[in-house]
Amino acid sequence: MTLPVVSLHFKAFGQGPPLIVLHGLFGMLDNWQTLGRRLAQDYTVYLVDQRNHGRSPHAEPHDYPTLAEDLRHFMETQWIYRAHLLGHSMGGKTVMQFAFDNPDMVDHLVVVDIAPVGYARRHDFIFEALQRVPLQRLESRKQAEDILMQHIGNSAIVQFLLKNLARNEDGSFRWKCNLPVLHRYYDAIIGPVAGAPFEGPTLFVKGGASEHILPEHWPHIQQLFPNSQLFEIQGVGHWVHAEAPEVLLQRVQQFLRSNR
């Protein structure tokens, strides 16, 4: 069966072997620009908006086989037939699924703070908070910020989410992410990914204060990724690239240069 792929929005810079970076849920390629430009000293870096995020098309379904097929379509349209892949959170599951489905197109695989397992629902309060913002009557970003703070109470999360708020030509506001579809497919987003084991070199990066990669996940990870290693960054949470960019950069550079 042919999946309904979309043409993804992206930015590219640098020169050298291709390295494709995928963001997480509610994110966009802009979240990785600082790190991407540093990596572009050695690689041609492609920062990509996944479907229903950023400036990429809004479309259904939103599940990992489809997201992986979007990535394959993107690579082929850019004449990329083998690349390093790096994905964070939802993007990490996308690149894992892609590696299962297209192992010959993957050089080194980097998965940031996510495992190939199913998770409990953790984002319902975020969906609820975003849905409470009255986009048609919204007068300012500050008003949206105040509403989100009332329901979320964490300034870092609120500022991250506010990057999704954009103005239409008529001055009204909209969310860049496709909130209804993401909510509808949330069970698929937090669900597991699976396939034949990927034998290529794989690096899992764990935030030491995050619970997304737990000790009980590791035997399953090693079954699916037998040539994998785990690198833990102490004292940081799920947004590893925002909290410890230098440590992450150095470890990723070291791994991508290795022949393992």
With 0-12 CB in 10 A as exposed, 13-18 as middle and 19+ as buried, what is 88?
A: buried
**Considering only 18-22, 90-94, 192-196, 243-247, which range has the smallest mean pLDDT?**
243-247
Identify the pLDDT of residue 162: 94
Identify the pLDDT of residue 104: 98
Task: Choose the catalytic residue: 56, 89, 210, 228.
Answer: 89
> Would the pLDDT of 182 be above 60?
yes
Among 3.40.50.1820, 3.40.50.300, 1.10.645.10, 2.60.40.10, name the CATH number for the domain at 10-119+191-257: 3.40.50.1820
Mean pLDDT, residues 99-108: 98
Helices 124-131 and 141-152 sit at what angle, rounded to 10 degrees? 140
Active site residue 73: no
Active site residue 258: no
> Would the pLDDT of 157 be above 60?
yes
pTM of the model: 0.95
pLDDT tens column, 213-224: 999 999 999 999
Task: Choose the catalytic residue: 53, 62, 88, 238.
Answer: 238
Domain residue spans of the chain: 10-119+191-257, 124-184
Contacts of 109 (CB under 8 A, 6+ apart): 84, 85, 86, 95, 96, 99, 198, 200, 201, 202, 203, 225
> Would the pLDDT of 1 be above 80?
no
> Would the pLDDT of 2 be above 80?
no
pLDDT tens column, 33-64: 999 999 999 999 999 999 999 999 999 999 99
Mean pLDDT, residues 106-130: 95
